[in-house]
Structure 1
Amino acid sequence: MSVVDNLTAPTRLPLTLLFVAFLATFIITRTITRLIRAGKGPFHDNVQGGVHIHHSIPGIILTIAGGFASVAAHGAAPMAAISAVLIGIGASLVLDEFALLLHLQDVYWSSEGQLSVQVVMLTGAVLGLMAIGINPLDGATGIRLGHLGLLASLPFHLLSLLVCVNKGKYSTAIVGAFLPPIAWIGAVRLARPTSHWARKRYSPDKLERATVRANGFDARWGQRGLALGDLVAGRPTDS
């Protein structure tokens, strides 16, 4: 089966629509926010009663609505496709402000806000792979774990993902959700030095080791991702 057939097959069409809606929403959202930042066009911040209503709020509503609709539809058309679009739009709006939700403050245009762009790009890549039929847990393309094996490894996998997040390895957690061994490896390696895990658990010597490793990784790989993020979403104010 060709890639096009995979994308448009009735059983895969909702996932394809979810991916397209996710990607299109991110592009449109970042275009609008960059225009607002530059003071161009008819757009402006959504402020009601002195409160800035971030776009993650409608994103959460759309994601929940899409999830409920998907369950109610039992995979039947056209509601399955409609719910997929709602989830794609909602998830994109939420993840575009992932850093704000994490830090509980408006860091959208700061260096911390670049995390949102990285999360969106990684999530989009995973969705794209799934849309064309690439699934590492499928016996045809990956490891034959079997249903019992998957069930037995699920608690360990979820714990590994939580540890990665607590260690500040958000990209690893997202990729690891799709490729479990990545999460398992990330969970046992040193945490990011600014993470909650490092601050609470590491001695000064271990924290210094974590800092050296993080700086080395960022010097080799981090700037490439940040440059791409700046191109797509705009350079941070404090850079």
Structure 2
Amino acid sequence: MGDWWQRNIMEPGKLPLLLALSAFVLTFVVTRVITRLIRAGKGPFGNVKAGGVHIHHVVPGVVLTVIGGFCAVAGGRYGFGSALAAVVFGIGAGLVLDEFALILHLDDVYWTEAGRKSVEVVVLTAALVGLVLAGFTPFGVDGMSQEELQDRANVIATVAGNFFFSLLALAKGKARLAIFGVIVPVIALIGAVRLARPGSPWARRFYARRPRARARSRLRAYHHDRRWSGPRRVVQDWIGGRPDPR
């Protein structure tokens, strides 16, 4: 374990990334717990106001993100300063993306259906950063054997193939499959070979003169959304809280 940590975390310089990801996830979890307590009227917490203006936590999040980012750029690759900057950046990013929907809509949609976008963005961001963190870095590690070099070359080729299939899935309007397909190759392949969703760039380009393909695409999208929208909402409600009724 110690040798793996040294070779795959310390030598490639991934410790700041690990700290930033940990701070990001922990900040999001703590923030959601606090906001749900405030919403329920429990605990000692309350909304922060200044002169009658509700100060959303995206504001200190932006400040911390800027401070952490500039300190990370100004500092070296190693040392306590870079580690601290990574933690500050992760905290700020967690606060900002927890209110991503507010930034997107320029409205306080935190507890509405539109506010679910914040949860989706946080989950996808954590997944992507986790991919970078968990993946073996082909550069920056010293003293590798020929077998290890070959293994890492195979990893690079595999990732390149996954990325190609993920781009196809993205063109077919399947953003979630495209993102998670970078991590799990089968997911990217499924997204690439199946019918495109209506309105996607692929459907507009290749289904324009194929009415049967357009009809099959709409029917499959309808059945897919009907089947998975419920479970997806349950997971989102569990993570971020149930939106207010309309």
Query: Considering the TM-score relative to the shorter chain, is it more than 0.5?
Result: yes
Structure 1 SS opposite 2:78 = coil
Write the mapping of 1:45-64 to structure 2, written as runs, cut at 5 A.
45-64=47-66
Tell me the distance in 1 between the aligned counterparts of 2:55 and 2:219.
39
- The answer to whether the Cα contact below 8 Å between 1:67 and 1:83 also exists between their aligned partners in 2 is yes
The one-letter amino acid paired with 1:20 is S
CA contact 1:119–1:171 (8 Å) conserved in 2:
no
Residue type at the aligned position of 1:134: G
Other-structure match for 2:103: 101
- The CA deviation string for residues 171-211 of structure 1, in whole angstroms up to 9 with x for no partner, is 467658989x96xx79xx86777x9x9xxxxx9x9999876
Alignment of 1:44-123 (within 5 A): 44-123=46-125
CA distance in 1, matches of 2:182, 2:56: 27
1:221 and 2:228 equivalent?
Answer: yes
Equivalent pair of 1:118/1:171 in contact (CA under 8 Å): no
Alignment of 1:199-210 (within 5 A): none
Match of 1:128 in 2: 130
**Structure 1 letter corresponding to 2:10:** A
Distance 1:76 1:102 in 2: 35
Amino acid at match of 1:69: C
TM-score normalised per structure 1: 0.70
Alignment CA distance shift 1:116-1:72 (3 Å): same
Corresponding residue for residue 140 of structure 1: 152
Question: For 1:222 and 1:142, how far apart are their aligned partners in 2?
Answer: 37
Who is 1:200 aligned against?
Answer: none
1:29–1:4 Cα change, 3 Å: farther
Q: Secondary structure at the match of 1:238?
A: coil
The answer for the alignment partner of 2:237 in structure 1 is 230
Distance in 2, matches of 1:78 and 1:115, equals 35
SS at match of 1:140: helix
Runs of 4+ in 1 over 6 A off after TM superposition: 1-4, 136-139, 176-179, 205-211
Identity fraction in percent: 42
In 2, Cα distance between equivalents of 1:88 and 1:212: 41
State the Cα distance separating 1:130 from its structure 2 match.
2.7
Q: Distance in 1 between matches of 2:156 and 2:44?
A: 53
| Structure having the higher Rg | 2
Aligned equivalents of 2:183 and 2:70: distance in 1?
Answer: 23
Q: Once the 2 structures are TM-superposed, how far is the Cα of residue 47 of structure 1 from its aligned partner?
A: 1.9
Gaps spanning 5+ residues in structure 1: where?
151-155, 198-202
Match of 2:5 in 1: 5
| Structure 1 residue 135: Cα displacement | 5.6
Give the CA deviation at 1:5.
1.7
